[in-house]
Structure 1
Amino acid sequence: MSARPSVLFVCVHNAGRSQMAAGWLRHLAGDTVEVRSAGSAPADTVNPAAVQAMREVGIDITDQTPRRLEYATAESSDVIVTMGCGDTCPVFPGKRYDDWQLEDPAGKGVDAVRPIRDEIRARVEKLLAELSQTT
């Protein structure tokens, strides 16, 4: 793993879970980690409830756009965190994979998204601690 590891968060729509995770990692790691996110079937926009939930903790993800998962992006990432994308996520030998089982915030209001946001923060904090031990 490089001195500045790259982490790719992947979920189906790249509109909720992966965007919140990327927002948390950018916020907590600053420029020490390259943060990427993508989806196997990206939505048109980021989930408004996810945007609102993140805004409540001082993180603005309104400038993010759901992106399609590209083979090259996954291949060049050090860590790939999947969140419900199933078999559509490519597998590369030698990569670190984490599969986070998280409730999908799609179609839910902000009250239901807050606990998902908080669970993602805890997982991102753990991931960041592990990355700092290996770089």
Structure 2
Amino acid sequence: MRPSDPAAPAFVQLASHPLRWKLLAELAASDYRVRELVERVGQPQNLVSYHLRLLRDGGLVTARRSSFDARDSYYHLDLQQSADALARTGSALHPALGFAPALPSPSSSASPARRPAVLFACTGNSARSPIAEALLRHRTDGHVEVASAGSHPKPRIHPDAVQVLREQHGIDISGQRPRHLDALLGRRFDYVISLCDKVREVCPDFGDQPRLVHWSIPDPAAATSPGPVGHPAFVRTAAEIDTRIRYLLPLLTPTPQEVQP
């Protein structure tokens, strides 16, 4: 008697649908609202919402209420979960395929003619964007030009952001001060990454057609339960930003074909 055929791994079942693959591809680049995904994939909202729900049930996609408009939600592709699911899918086909690829860092041996430039933006430039700036600069060791700014900068960097970066990552930003987005107008950026739903709506045009990316991350300063090692919300925020940055690094590293001789 022939044994029953094994079912395809969950990732294959989810990602093999053409519309769900399109949604995954869009969310791999940026967080989006449903109406934006409807426009980008060219399908009705009820159909997009149905397939987003399946992707959420499968653990690949998460949703957060917008801090700009609580009636809206931003959808986010969990790249770490996707990497783990791909590794499990490979293992199901053959044990030798069950590994997650290493994420490269920009290096001097594979640098373009000029360093890529990244701007992180949030409202107060006191927590999320300076954390992102510090972590990307730390991970790229000076091979990427990094800046951060806010639409309504606070008087100082939040002390919990300073503490978490120092204790969790060995980075000291105690001497840094928030600055306004307008102070960076005229500078060239390859990526402008908003980390706040509010600033996404008011971020100025930096010209030169930078790639606009949105990471919908809640303000850790809005949480209310302090802890013994910095604010727990700041620890979670720094960890999420660091994960997103690790998956940004390959996009900042030129492929061999892009490297000029």
Paired with 1:11 and 1:71, the residues of 2 have a C-alpha distance of 14
8 Å Cα contact 2:188-2:208 kept in structure 1: no
Query: Which one of the candidate residues 203, 210, 213 is aligned to 1:98?
Result: 213
Equivalence for 2:172:
60
Choose from 201, 205, 209 the match for 1:87.
Answer: 201
C-alpha root-mean-square deviation of aligned residues, in Å?
A: 2.0
Given the two structures, how large is their TM-score scaled by the length of structure 2? 0.48
* Equivalence map 1:38-57=2 (5 Å): 38-56=149-167, 57=169
Q: Which deviates the most, 93-102 or 66-75?
A: 66-75
User: Any conservation in 2 of the 1:71–1:90 contact (CA below 8 Å)?
Assistant: no
Whichever residue aligns with residue 177 of structure 2, its letter is T
1:86 CA displacement: 2.8
Where in structure 1 do 4 or more consecutive aligned residues deviate above 4 Å? none
Q: State how many pairs are aligned.
A: 135
Q: Give the aligned partner of residue 4 of structure 1.
A: 115
Structure-2 change in CA distance of 1:2 and 1:106 (3 Å): farther
Gap regions ≥5 residues in structure 2: 1-111
Say if 2:192 and 2:210, in contact at 8 Å, map to a contact too: yes
For 2:217, what is the secondary structure of its paired residue? Answer: coil
Q: Which moved more, 1:101-110 or 1:5-14?
A: 101-110
Counterpart pick for 1:131 among 226, 231, 252: 252
With the length of structure 1 as denominator, give the TM-score of the two structures. Answer: 0.90
Structure ranking higher on relative contact order (CA contacts 8 Å, 6+ apart): 1
Deviation track 1:25-83 (CA, whole Å, cap 9, x = no partner) reads 11011111111100000000001111111111211111211000027536511110001
When Rg is computed on C-alpha atoms for both structures, the one with the higher figure is 2
SS at 2:180's partner residue?
Answer: coil
SS at structure 1 position matched to 2:148: strand
- The correspondence of residues 99-118 of structure 1 with structure 2, limited to 5 A, is 99-108=214-223, 109=226, 110-118=231-239
Measure, in 2, the Cα distance between the counterparts of 1:41 and 1:54: 22
Whole-angstrom distance in 2 between the partners of 1:80 and 1:74: 13
Map 1:26-41; keep pairs closer than 5 Å: 26-41=137-152
Distance 1:62 1:2 in 2: 32
Identity across matched positions, percent: 38
Please give the secondary structure, in 1, of the residue aligned with 2:254: helix
Moved more, 123-132 or 37-46: 123-132
